[in-house]
Amino acid sequence: MTENKVNTLLFDGECPFCLSLVSRWRDTLERRGFELAPLQTDWVRSRLNLPEKELLNEMRLLTVDDTVLGAMDAYVFIWRKIWWCLPLWLIAHVPGVRFLMNRAYRWVARNRMCLSGACTLPHNSRTGGGLGIVRWLPLLLLPGTTIALRNHFTEKWIFMWVLA
């Protein structure tokens, strides 16, 4: 492949988490003119010309104008092409939000092998093995957020339903 005529999403073809996302999003992306290719493909390795360790650090997007976007920049580019993702695209342009999105992306990318349910990464004592507190975040954040926003619900039954 010498000339890029479409936007091409490049992903880790050996990562179960990545493969799961690709299978879920393939139709949506292909209908909007995207191609998908594993980062391990020979033409991708040649085109990106990155060291092996850096090659698989993040997904990348090769655009029609031959720009290589990585991580959240790739997501934001894709969101702009999907009409029902435009709210995410807008949120990504709020000052400070992209920084937080990039931090979240880096965490997911670093732990993607564990997120698939079959952790192949070595145990990291600093993070408690990859997931630790993350499993408890919904339990902690959702009720807390609901209670903090209780005065914004127009009806009391809506507040109770959301809290339940």
Distance of CA 75 to the CA centre of its chain: 7
Q: How confident is the model at residue 1 (pLDDT cuts 50, 70, 90)?
A: very low
Please count the structural domains in the chain.
Answer: 2
The whole domain housing 117 covers 1-129
Q: Quick one: 108 and 160 in the same domain?
A: no
Q: Quick one: 114 and 155 in the same domain?
A: no
Q: Quick one: 87 and 115 in the same domain?
A: yes
CA distance linking residue 122 with residue 160, whole number of Å: 43
Q: Is the pTM of this model over 0.75?
A: no
CA distance linking residue 134 with residue 60, whole number of Å: 25
Average pLDDT, the chain: 84
Q: Quick one: 64 and 92 in the same domain?
A: yes
Query: What per-residue confidence (pLDDT) applies to 53?
Result: 84
Q: Quick one: 87 and 147 in the same domain?
A: no
In this structure, the chain runs to a length of: 164
3-state secondary structure of 123: coil
- Segment 85-132, tens digit of pLDDT: 999 999 999 999 999 999 999 999 988 888 766 665 554 545 445 556
- Segment 130-148, tens digit of pLDDT: 556 666 767 777 777 777 7
Average pLDDT over residues 25-29: 96
Q: Cβ–Cβ contacts within 10 Å for residue 143, how many? A: 13
- Percent of the chain's residues with pLDDT above 70: 84
Q: Cβ–Cβ contacts within 10 Å for residue 84, how many? A: 8
Does residue 75 have a pLDDT over 50?
yes
Q: Quick one: 65 and 146 in the same domain?
A: no
- Strand pairing of 34-38 and 7-11? parallel
Q: Quick one: 20 and 92 in the same domain?
A: yes
CA distance linking residue 108 with residue 114, whole number of Å: 9
